[in-house]
Amino acid sequence: MIQKQGYVPTEREQAFLGGIEDPKYVREIINGLAPFFDERAPADMLNFYSPDEIVQLRVLKGSERDVESRMPVKITRHYYELARHSAAIQRIVKASPDETRDLAGSEDPGFQMDYSPVEGLLHKYEMGLMYVVSTCSAHCRFCYREELIARKEIKRQDGTVAKKGLAQIPEITAYIRAHNEAVARNGGVHPESGREKLREILLSGGDPMVLNNAKLGAWLAALAESDVESIRIGTKEMAFYPQRFDAPFLAMLDRFHETYPQVGLHMMVHFEHPDEFLAKDPDGHYIEDAQGFKQWVPATGKAMRDLVSRGWLTVENQAPIIKGINDDPDALRILQREIKRAGAENHYFFCGRDIVAYRAFNVPIETAWNVLNESQKGLSGVETHARLSITHYKGKTEVNAVTSRPIPGLAGSENGVVIFKILRNAGRASDRGKVCIVGRNPEALWFDGYDDRVLFDEAGLYDYTRVRKPGLAPVSTGGCAAAGIPA
Ligand code: SF4
């Protein structure tokens, strides 16, 4: 049991926090559809929605199919300027009446709350994920965290219903210390959950970069003082408002590194499509210099350069493959090539999750694999580090291969197979490397699309277990509603 207690920063922390500067940012955010309905948005932005779209979206307002109740609408001026010349970007942030046509999906994708021992923390692996804020500078329609950002009430395993809460420094640091002390006392493994030291934390939300530097710095220092070895900041701010990566922010990072040089720092950026960072000419073509190098949007290029030039942190891109946005091998090829050329890393691409209304956004699993595979043809080895991941309830799982020929002697493989491979699972990742082979179903959007064609399952994806209470080891619930899409 973690005792609730106040948090007292150490002298080292206070010295670090004392030097942080907090400028005001003018993101020129348009919040919601009302400014478009009432024509209060800036005049040059009003045509972002056509009159027909406005009528259709207005009709849905207040109904079960209200698009804003599912996922709040938000856009920055910077992103709007990019969206004007990009159908892909428009699809990322423009609300569409189609997105609430089919509201099937999970209110808690992957039963994340099963792994929440403290409000605002998901602790599944040696890494913990924290919700530190519940909004972003703009909002993606396909967001995996629509339940957090729309502040929806979630039913938890114990039957209680509540909004997902945000992490607080006193509770989180007390939990990390208690967990890691128990692990150390027990020879490197937690006596109840079987997990190792909680040594890595991902600051997430929402987007931590909407917090001011003082708040971000407070999180970084408090985690460093709790002996966290590595901190990730998950952000799409470099796409929405790259000016946020300014001198005071970089100075805060530099001071953090000087104060806590032993702590690794990783910026997990989120670019879906090269239109989010490449400059275009008036005809919509990417601008190239005399040698044929594509030119970045100046503010975005500067933000990226300023981060990657700090050799003690890494910048990693990860993004889902979403219908009508980046299910396009050519776009993904340019994206991976440019990210690597800029000095950042291509980390993961994801299959869309089973969020509410997922059918409006997700491409079939096999299509996503094909798109990524095609996009990597012609790329070099260092440009093709990204794998296609799909988040099973058990943990991160790679869509490793899709074949198109039968496997001789294997009934059910007549149209080829899909091979899933577990990358991470709760506790000590005991199932890492195990595979599950299913017969193909080109329509499958989620694991349940293969329920009737499992051929081999040493990974246990189709005999999953659900944890009894947050922080404890999984127990078998039997059944096979993989990753829990409600009927
Ligand atoms: S930036 Fe990330 S968390 Fe924010 S709306 Fe987009 S997908 Fe969701």
For 321, the 3-state DSSP assignment is: strand
Asked if residues 118 and 175 have their Cβ atoms less than 8 Å apart, the reply is yes
Distance in angstroms (rounded) separating the CA atoms of residues 217 and 214: 5
d(CA 187, CA 166): 32
3-state secondary structure of 252: helix
Ligand 1 mutation pick, 132, 136, 326, 350, max ligand atoms within 8 A of CB: 136
**CB of 368 within 8 A of CB of 388?**
yes
Confidence at residue 247, expressed as pLDDT on a 0 to 100 scale: 98
pLDDT at residue number 354 = 84
With vertex at residue 254, the alpha carbon angle to CA 248 and CA 256, rounded to the nearest 5 degrees, is 105
Closest residue to atom 5 of ligand 1, CA basis: 139
Cβ of 74 less than 6 Å from ligand 1: no
CA-proximal residue: ligand 1, atom 1 (nearest): 236
pLDDT per position as a tens digit, 14-40? 999 998 999 999 999 999 999 999 999
207 C-beta closer than 6 A to ligand 1: yes
Mutate to test the pocket of ligand 1, among 76, 203, 236, 273 (most ligand atoms within 8 A of CB): 236
Beta bridge mates, 235: 269
Distance of CA 369 to the CA centre of its chain: 18
Instruction: Indicate if ligand 1 lies below 6 Å from the C-beta of 140.
Output: yes
322 CB less than 6 Å from ligand 1? no
Residue with token string 């099973």: 392
CA distance 361 to 355: 10
Please tell me the distance between residue 85's alpha carbon and the centre of ligand 1 in angstroms.
21
Between the CA of 465 and the centroid of ligand 1 the distance, in Å, is 29
Q: How far is the CA of 1 from the centre of ligand 1 (A)?
A: 33
Minimum-distance ligand 1 atom for the alpha carbon of 234: 2
Beta bridge partners of 474: 467
Residue 365: which residues within 8 A CB-CB, separation 6 or more?
351, 390, 399, 418, 444, 445, 446, 449
* CA dist., res. 175 & res. 118, Å (int): 8
User: How far, in Å, is the centroid of ligand 1 from the Cα of 406?
Assistant: 39
Atom of ligand 1 nearest to the CA of 92: 6
Q: Which of 89, 131, 143, 348 to mutate to test the pocket of ligand 1 (most atoms within 8 A of CB)?
A: 143
pLDDT at 308 over 90: yes
Which two structure tokens, joined as six digits, stand for 482? 């993989």
Q: Burial-class residue 208 by CB neighbours within 10 Å (0-12, 13-18, 19+).
A: buried
Neighbours of 25 (CB within 10 A): 18
Q: How far apart are CA 18 and CA 255, in angstroms?
A: 11
Span from the CA of 269 to the centroid of ligand 1 (angstroms): 11
Q: Where are the alpha helices (DSSP H) in 342-433?
A: 365-375
Å from CA of 322 to ligand 1 middle:
13
Establish whether residue 236 lines the binding site of ligand 1, counting it when its CB lies within 6 angstroms of any ligand atom: yes
Task: Map residue 107 onto helix, strand or coil.
Answer: coil
Residue 474 has a pLDDT of: 41
Please work out whether the CB of residue 145 comes within 6 Å of at least one atom of ligand 1.
yes
Helix (H, G, I), strand (E, B) or coil at 218: helix
- In whole angstroms, give the CA distance from residue 210 to residue 237: 8
Measure the CA–CA gap between 41 and 162, rounded to whole angstroms. 34
Q: Which ligand 1 atom lies nearest to the CA of residue 240?
A: 1
CA of 178 to the centre of ligand 1 (A): 31
Give dist(CA 410, CA 413) in Å, integer. Answer: 6
Strands (E), 132-245: 153-155, 161-163, 200-204, 230-235
Please name the residues in contact with 428: beta carbons below 8 A apart, sequence gap of 6 or more: 189, 194, 195, 196
DSSP structure string for 418-443: EEEEE---TTT-TTTT-EEEEE--TT
Average pLDDT over residues 459-478: 58
Q: How many CB atoms lie within 10 A of CB 283?
A: 6
Name the residue among 232, 157, 188 with its Cα closest to residue 471. Answer: 157
Contact by Cβ (8 Å): 68, 112: no
Contact 395, 124 (CB under 8 A): yes
Which segment of 19-28, 164-173, 369-378, 420-429 scores lowest on mean pLDDT?
420-429
pLDDT of the residue at 5: 64
Q: How many Å lie between the centroid of ligand 1 and the Cα of residue 139? A: 6
Is the pLDDT assigned to residue 205 strictly greater than 60?
yes
pLDDT digit string (tens) for 332-360? 999 999 999 999 999 999 998 888 999 99
- Give the integer Cα–Cα distance in Å for 254 and 198: 24
pLDDT tens for each residue of 283-299 = 999 999 999 999 999 99
Q: How far is the CA of 282 from the centre of ligand 1 (A)?
A: 29
Q: Smallest Cα–Cα separation from 231: which of 270, 202, 258?
A: 202
Give the residue whose CA is nearest to atom 8 of ligand 1. 143
Ligand 1 atom closest to 146 (CA): 8
pTM: 0.92
Render pLDDT for 240-261 as a digit per residue (tens, 0 to 9): 999 999 999 999 999 999 999 9
Question: pLDDT, tens digit, for every residue of 381-398?
Answer: 999 999 999 988 888 999
Domains and CATH numbers, the chain: 1-25+102-363 (3.20.20.70), 30-100 (no CATH), 386-487 (no CATH)
Give the torsion through C-alpha atoms of 431, 434, 439, 444, to 10 deg: 50
Ligand 1 atom with least separation from CA of 139: 5
Residue with structure tokens 């095609």? 374
Return the half-sphere exposure (C-beta side, CA atoms, 13 A cut-off) of residue 296.
Answer: 19
Cα-to-centroid distance, 156 and ligand 1 (Å): 23
**Which residue, among 65, 147, 149, has the nearest Cα to 107 in the 3D structure?**
147
pLDDT band (50, 70, 90) for residue 416:
very high
The Cβ of residue 28 has, within 10 Å, a number of other Cβ atoms equal to 13
The 10s digit of each residue's pLDDT in 40-75 is 999 999 999 999 999 999 999 999 999 999 999 999
Percent with pLDDT over 90 in the chain:
81
Ligand 1: centre distance to CA 142 (Å): 8
- Whether 341 and 324 have beta carbons less than 8 Å apart is answered as no
Q: Name the phi and psi angles at 154, rounded to 5.
A: -115, 135
Nearest ligand 1 atom to the CA of 235 is: 1
Q: Is 139 in the pocket of ligand 1 (CB under 6 A)?
A: yes
